Amino acid sequence: MRIIYDLPADDYHSISALSKSGLDQLAKSPMHFKHWTENRDKEAPTEAMLFGTAVHMAVLEPQKFALQYAKFTGDRRTKEGKAAFADIEESGRIPLNEEQWNSIQGVAQSVEANLWWQQNTKTLRTEVSCFHRLNDGIDLKARMDGVTDEFIVDIKTTQDASPAGFARSIASFRYHWQAAFYRRFIDLPFVFIAVEKTAPYATGVYTIDTEALVAADADIDNLINIFRDCRAFGSMPGYKSEIVTLSLPKYVKPIEA
């Protein structure tokens, strides 16, 4: 097991190993995983990804955020606006429009004002990179938002940070896999800081129950076994080759006469 602090993100991503993102792709099919590993560096980050990166830095590394981002309030259709925008870029910083800036600051201020955050992140180390090689040579990796002496901490922006709303996000994005996977590297309770992306930027603090973590561990073990078999046979298949009988989704109701 290797735990590295302050490893640049590009260096982390350049290391070939199975991550939670890779598990998500494997869950679709090994073919999806292969395509993703071969093409992820070619894909431009989405607006949501860029927003998430800025939010994480504003919350976890505010001094670094101040050096890398700047608020732009001009109009790029005007000569003055174009010049102001270019000045920001030439300084090496990333321009954010007023809406983006206000949203990011709202999220960061909400997290900073949260009582749990204030009381439990005094020993926080951010952007913690972890690596582990299994006995059969399969490499695993994880990059954690933050680790304290007592918790693994992960920031999630969401539309709905209420308990019911974020529980739906956990199911949709398999966040329980992330919690279980990260705990394989550092055996500490995993805590989500869920914060809404729009005003009033409400924040919720959540853990996942044992039942969900056990189910996640079983899923992760199955996917690692699939990866192991694919590596052994040198094949990354798509969906099953044999005929599969499908049923209609439960939400499809018969038409009543």
- Are 132 and 185 in contact by the 8 Å Cβ rule? The answer is yes
- What residues contact 167, with CB distance under 8 A and at least 6 apart? none
CATH architecture for segment(s) 1-35+114-231: Alpha-Beta Complex (3.90)
Q: What local confidence, expressed as pLDDT, does residue 196 receive?
A: 96
Q: What local confidence, expressed as pLDDT, does residue 79 receive?
A: 83
C-alpha to C-alpha distance for 62 and 68, rounded to whole angstroms: 10
Q: Please give the single-letter amino acid code of residue 181.
A: F
pLDDT along the chain (257 residues), means of 10: 92 95 96 94 80 92 92 85 86 89 95 97 96 95 97 96 97 97 97 96 97 98 96 92 92 84
Domain boundaries, the chain: 1-35+114-231, 47-103
C-alpha to C-alpha distance for 5 and 250, rounded to whole angstroms: 47
Q: What local confidence, expressed as pLDDT, does residue 48 receive?
A: 81
Question: 62 has which bridge partners?
Answer: none
Q: What local confidence, expressed as pLDDT, does residue 120 receive?
A: 97
Q: Does the CA dihedral 209-210-213-218 come out positive or negative?
A: negative
Question: 156 has which bridge partners?
Answer: 194
Tokens of 98: 């007023």
Q: What local confidence, expressed as pLDDT, does residue 87 receive?
A: 86
SS3 241: coil
- Are 145 and 236 in contact by the 8 Å Cβ rule? The answer is no
pTM of the model: 0.89
In 178-248 the beta strands, taken as DSSP E runs, fall at: 190-196, 203-206
Q: What local confidence, expressed as pLDDT, does residue 125 receive?
A: 97
